[in-house]
């Protein structure tokens, strides 16, 4: 789950991971299935009719290729992917593959052929054991597969009169039950592992978002400080100018006027410094933001006095009522 990807719930995330796992094993499953199919056909070639063997081989190959097409194609990267569509496709195709093997004893029967019985038992146990590893992430798909292979297989075993077949049928049911029990434990471990992975990725994404927010706040603060440093220089420069202007002044009224301007500049500088300190405290959450009323007339008057000195050829007028205030937050 990339950091810029939309957040999804755990159920969808689990389905995506299962789809990826199935897709990753699709080629290996197809190759192994085709290999066992052709090997089984070769072993039974001299025992049963070739036409029937080829018919069964064609059906089983088609089932394997259909399963491969869905397992390989239905992934989260596919625009047609949906969790429901994936589950339906996986359950249907795994059942079909299992059924293509389960019908083997229904198509071919040889009561006294021990070699054939060995092939059947080996095929059945090997296929279910292999399915446990491939379908460990999604137990319903394993249930679909073992149902597809066990129902016709066990039915054929119990149908035949020979006691050895009935014994094999009973053992197949016991073996299937044992495999399903083991798969329940394995599937639970996969779900728990995926949950931890999901929580870790969600945490990393959240941390990345918070980091980006902090970086933006730092950038904004740096811009503010750069602007504030320029504003701080203005009252300092004004104070220096006023002090220089005091040296040749002889008249007391003019002297008091300049001293008043120095005081106002110092007051403005002091206010800026306090504002910077308050902003730092707000960032550190050391103080609370308490809104208050500010007299707009006084504020505008102070601005006019400060800028009139820099532009004596301009006339600034304050048309705001004396009792007018603005709410600052």
DSSP string, 237-282: HHHHHHHHHHTT---HHHHHHHHHHHHHHHHHHHHHHHHHHHHHHH
CA distance 153 to 132: 18
Closest CA to 98 of 51, 55, 132, 48: 132
What is the pTM (predicted TM-score) of this model?
0.59
Residue 231: CA count within 13 A, CB half-sphere: 16
The pLDDT score that the predictor gives to residue 58 is 94
163 Cβ contact partners less than 8 Å away, ≥ 6 residues apart: none
What is the pLDDT at residue 59?
Answer: 92
**Bridge pairing between strands 325-328 and 292-295:** antiparallel
Model pLDDT, residue 109 = 76
Closest CA to 48 of 105, 101, 108: 108
Contact 133, 108 (CB under 8 A): no
> What is the reported pLDDT for 308?
64
Give residue 57's pLDDT: 92
Res 321: pLDDT:
62
Whole-number pLDDT of residue 329: 36
Residues 6+ apart with CB under 8 A from 187: 136, 137, 138, 139
- What pLDDT is stored for residue 194 in this prediction? 83
How many whole angstroms from its chain centre is CA 112?
58
Residue 166 burial (CB < 10 Å; 0-12/13-18/19+)? middle
Q: Which residue has the tokens 């820099």?
A: 310
- Which among 93, 92, 98, 74 has a CA at the least distance from the CA of 24? 74
Rounded-to-integer distance, Cα 156 and Cα 242, Å = 110
**Would you write out the chain's pLDDT as a tens digit for each of its 329 residues?**
444 445 677 877 887 888 888 888 888 888 888 898 898 888 888 888 889 889 999 999 999 999 888 888 777 777 777 778 888 888 899 999 999 988 888 888 776 777 888 888 888 888 888 777 777 778 888 888 888 889 998 888 888 877 888 888 898 899 888 888 888 888 888 888 888 888 888 888 888 888 888 888 777 777 766 666 666 666 666 676 767 766 666 566 766 777 777 777 777 777 777 676 666 666 655 556 677 777 777 777 777 766 666 666 666 666 666 554 433 33
Count the Cβ atoms, other than its own, within 10 Å of residue 35. Answer: 10
């Amino acid at each position: 789950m990339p950091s810029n990807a939309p957040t999804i719930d755990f159920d969808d995330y689990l389905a995506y991971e299962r789809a990826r796992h199935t897709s990753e094993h699709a080629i290996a499953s197809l190759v192994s299935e085709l290999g066992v199919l052709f090997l089984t056909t070769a072993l039974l070639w001299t025992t049963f009719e070739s036409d029937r063997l080829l018919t069964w081989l064609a059906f089983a190959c088609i089932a394997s290729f259909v399963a491969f097409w869905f397992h390989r194609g239905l992934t989260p990267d596919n625009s047609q992917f949906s969790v429901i569509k994936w589950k339906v496709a996986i359950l249907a195709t795994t059942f079909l593959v299992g059924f293509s093997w389960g019908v083997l004893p229904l198509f071919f029967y040889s009561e006294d052929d021990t070699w054939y019985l060995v092939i059947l038992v080996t095929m059945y146990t090997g296929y279910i054991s292999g399915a446990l590893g491939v379908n460990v992430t999604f137990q319903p798909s394993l249930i679909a597969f073992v149902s597809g292979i066990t129902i016709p297989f066990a039915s054929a075993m119990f149908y035949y009169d020979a006691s050895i077949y009935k014994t094999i049928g009973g053992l197949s049911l016991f073996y299937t039950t044992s495999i399903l029990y083991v798969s329940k434990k394995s599937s639970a471990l996969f779900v728990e592992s995926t949950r931890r992975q999901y929580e870790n990725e969600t945490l990393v994404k959240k941390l990345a978002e918070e980091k980006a927010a902090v970086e933006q706040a730092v950038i904004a603060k740096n811009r503010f400080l750069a602007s504030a440093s320029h504003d701080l220089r203005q009252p300092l420069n004004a104070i220096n100018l006023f002090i220089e202007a005091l040296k040749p002044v002889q008249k007391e009224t003019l002297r008091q006027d300049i001293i008043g301007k120095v005081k106002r500049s110092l007051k403005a500088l002091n206010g800026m410094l306090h504002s910077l300190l308050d902003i730092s405290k707000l960032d550190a959450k050391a103080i609370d933001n308490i809104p208050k009323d500010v007299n707009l007339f006084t504020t505008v008057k102070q601005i006019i006095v400060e800028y009139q000195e820099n532009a004596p050829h301009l006339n600034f007028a304050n048309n705001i009522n004396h009792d007018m205030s603005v709410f600052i937050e």
